[in-house]
Chain A
Amino acid sequence: MAATKDKVYKCLNPVGIQEPVDTFPLAPRLNTLDDKNIHLSICGEPDITIPLEKRLKGDYPSINWTVKKTYNINPVQLTEEERKTTDGVILGVCW
């Protein structure tokens, strides 16, 4: 029994395969927001996102705002064309 108790076992890893992830720098920041195309991507929490949209558009009229909204967890994706012409994105509220 002593021999069994002292026996060394190789024990396997229960963790799944994590593919390596390429990590990217943040997109360059903007020098100014004036006349820029900023996209507001809304998903959920209307208590916050309704006044947020109102304030952004009201307080920053020099920004060209675009908005897409969903109640779902996953935000509505921008099209390839929209990505080319969008200077910045605000995404929220995440949940």
Chain B
Amino acid sequence: MLIDLTEEDNKVRHDALIYGVPEMRFVSASRRLPGPEDVDNILGSILEGLTRPLTAKEKKGGKWAPEQPRILFEGTLEEAEEFYNQTEKIPGIHNAPFSMYTDGLPVVVPTEERVEDMLRGTSHKPDELIVYQRDEEIAMDAARFSHRRGEVVQFMPMFRTATVEQVAVNAVMAGCKPEYFPVVLAIAESGGGTGDGRGGGGAYLVSGPIYKEIGMNVSYGRIGPGNPPNKTIGRVGSLLWRNLGGYKEMVSTIMTYGSPVTNGGFILAEYAEGLPKGWKGLNEELGYKKNESVLMPIRAGTWGLGQEHMPGVYRSLQKSGHGGIARFLNVKGIPGPHNYLDFITDGIWKTMEGGFTLVLVPDMAKDMYDFGFKTKQAAYEYIWKKSFETVKEYKLRGRPDYHTNGWTAIEKTSGKHWRELPDDYMVPAGGDDPFGSYNIIVCDGQETASQRFSGGHGPAYSIDAWR
């Protein structure tokens, strides 16, 4: 017997099929009733489900094998547009329409010719399965996953796999050009933004020379509209999640409410030319060479995304010690370099946990370097150390019940069980470790404003491996 929560019934039926037990018995608990009252309501049904004789349907086994034709539609372009843009009504979202093959926006029709053209962007064969190109270990919330080189990538929530050609179909639909395709394939290798089924299409950082080769905007307006590679590659994750993974809201996945950061696509490339001497590019930080191009998925769901302050206030701080940030740092009238990190991290962990990626323009990165952060790692450690607080304070937060598996896990900085730690023991609210929790990349521009979004360093995927 399985207990779900009321509105999850369709997903339970769906998952039961995927796991091969389509007639799984379940009862629904309430999201609103107090626990003891809820238990009163469901207790009898739970136990009855263990003893009630099986129906003929429940006794039946078989095979579920949906049809998967390579050619999905034949017709004129106009007819095809109508076909690919069709929607279905989903009861779980008040019968709102949900796209059957797209992210909700119109797509480029994936004709055989266009897909063939896309495949010219890689040396990999169309019928090759998407497999991991190297061994990797991934930490995700309280869980750890690993995969080996050559292992087939599964796309969630439906544990599907895909060929290079199927990824190309989605790349065409997103509006990508063949030269973008190695980046798209690296996105596919990373799981295609499907996550554990609630991936939201993902968000990505690119590091290495490919940004210039394909014309990604790393400067003004880099997260705005107008630049085809940023816009179309960023969009790919949503399509891969929908089509390769089988995401269908309230049916195959319940993703809570989504994120405006990833909706529509999010990809950002590093401008390594703007790094201060001594600071490594993201590719080098992740174990690759400066001339290698890599992709790192990020979880850019929180911490905001826009600029942190008026650019002029920052300039005044560093040039002459004037303005609001100078007053905040108590350096009024004293020319920089001043420690900007003290301004942007003050009090930020009050009700949030974890780390973030900080996007700086070259002048701001140079100021940090001149202040004393001779490496990015030094900055990560500085920020992380500022996040420490007592265990007593940490226990008042919203997420650690989960992260610590009900306080039964090991606290990573001490190596001790959480329950052994005294209330005044200091633990980081800002993530488990500096490198995994923080990241700084440099993008171009002279307006001295930073951008910030959640997540530090994670696994990287070679773009060059997919050329």
* Interface of A toward B, CB cutoff 8 Å: 5-26, 28-33, 38, 44-52, 55-56, 59-60, 69-74, 88-95
B:40-95 near A, CB below 8 Å: 43, 46-47, 50-54, 58-66, 68-78, 80, 83-84
Tell me, in angstroms, the Cα distance from A94 to B24 when the chains sit together: 13
Q: Which residue of chain B has its CB nearest to the CB of A9?
A: B111
Contact: B74 with A17, CB < 8 Å?
no
> Could you tell me the distance between the alpha carbons of A89 and B77 in the complex, rounded to whole angstroms?
53
Which residue, of B51, B84, B170, has the highest number of chain A Cβ atoms within 10 A? B51
Minimum CB–CB distance for A3 against chain B, Å:
11
Are A32 and B63 touching (Cβ within 8 A)? no
Taking the complex as formed, is B257 at the interface, i.e. its CB lies under 8 A from any CB of chain A?
A: no
Q: A9-B75, A48-B35, A94-B3 are in contact. Are A71 and B70 (CB under 8 A)?
A: no
**In whole angstroms, how far apart are the Cα atoms of A25 and B245 in the complex?**
26
Contacts of B58 in A (CB 8 A): 25-26
A30 to B25 Cα, complex, angstroms: 14
Contact of A32 among B17, B24, B51 (CB under 8 A): B51
Residues B74 and A30 in contact, CB atoms below 8 Å apart? no
* Cβ-based interface call for B350 (8 A): no
Inter-subunit contact B59/A14 (CB<8 Å): no
> Is there contact, CB below 8 Å, between B39 and A11?
no
Give the docked Cα–Cα distance between A10 and B169 (Å): 12
From B5, B68, B165, B239, A93 is in contact (CB under 8 Å) with B5
Query: Given A12-B112, A18-B158, A26-B24, do A33 and B35 touch, yes or no (CB 8 Å)?
Result: no
Proximity string of chain B (1-40) to chain A, C-beta cutoff 8 Å, 1 when within and 0 when not = 1111100100010000111111111000100001110110
Decide if A16 touches B1 in the complex (CB within 8 Å). no
Q: How far is A19 from B154 in the complex, measured between Cα atoms in Å?
A: 11
Contact B70 A13 (CB under 8 A): yes
Contact status A55-B39, CB under 8 Å: yes
B112-A72 in contact (CB<8A): no
Q: Are A16 and B2 in contact (CB under 8 A)?
A: no
A95 adjacent to B5 (CB under 8 Å): yes
Interface check B162, CB cutoff 8 A = yes
Min CB–CB distance B374 → chain A (angstroms): 40
Across the interface, name the chain A residue whose C-beta is closest to B34: A47
Known contacts A23-B17, A23-B64: A12-B46 contact under CB 8 Å: no
* Contact across chains for B39 and A48 when beta carbons are under 8 A apart: yes
Identify which of residues 254-283 in chain B touch chain A, using a CB-to-CB cut-off of 8 Å.
Answer: none
Are A12 and B72 in contact, CB atoms less than 8 angstroms apart? yes
Main secondary structure of the interface of B (DSSP, over half): mixed
Q: Cβ of A18: which chain B residues have Cβ within 8 Å of it?
A: 65-66, 68, 158, 160, 246
Between A47, A59, A88, the greatest number of chain B beta carbons within 10 A of the residue's beta carbon is seen for: A47
* A26 and chain B: residue at smallest CB distance: B58
30 A–B contacts from the bound complex (CB under 8 Å): A5-B77, A9-B77, A12-B110, A13-B71, A13-B72, A13-B166, A14-B72, A18-B158, A18-B160, A19-B159, A21-B19, A25-B58, A25-B61, A26-B23, A29-B50, A30-B51, A45-B29, A48-B38, A49-B35, A51-B36, A55-B39, A71-B406, A72-B405, A88-B50, A89-B1, A90-B50, A92-B3, A92-B4, A92-B29, A94-B4
Q: Kindly list chain A residues whose C-beta atoms are within 8 Å of the C-beta of B21.
A: 23-24, 26
Closest 4 CB pairs of A and B: A92-B3, A16-B160, A16-B244, A20-B65
* Most interface-central of A17, A30, A73 (chain B CB within 10 A): A17
Q: What are the interface flags for B107-141 relative to A under an 8 Å C-beta threshold, 1 for contact and 0 otherwise?
A: 00111110100000000000000000000000000
Beyond A11-B74, A71-B142, is A28–B169 a contact (Cβ under 8 Å)?
A: no
Min CB–CB distance A14 → chain B (angstroms):
4
Chain A residues with Cβ below 8 Å from B18 are: 21
B245 pairs with A56, CB closer than 8 A:
no
Q: How far is the CB of B20 from chain A (nearest CB, A)?
A: 5
B3 touches A12 (CB 8 A): no
User: Does B143 interact with chain A (Cβ within 8 Å)?
Assistant: yes
Q: Are A14 and B24 in contact (CB under 8 A)?
A: no
| CB-based contact B401/A91 at 8 Å | no
Closest Cβ neighbor of A88 among chain B residues? B50
B299, chain A: closest CB distance, angstroms: 16
Report yes or no: A50 in contact with B35, Cβ–Cβ below 8 A. yes
| B230 nearest CB across to chain A (Å) | 22
Complex Cα spacing A16 to B166, Å: 7
B143 and A29 contacting across the interface, CB-CB below 8 Å: no
Q: Are A17 and B3 in contact (CB under 8 A)?
A: no
CB-CB nearest in chain A for B143: A72
B43–A71 CB distance below 8 A: no
Flag if B243 contacts A14 (CB, 8 Å).
Answer: yes
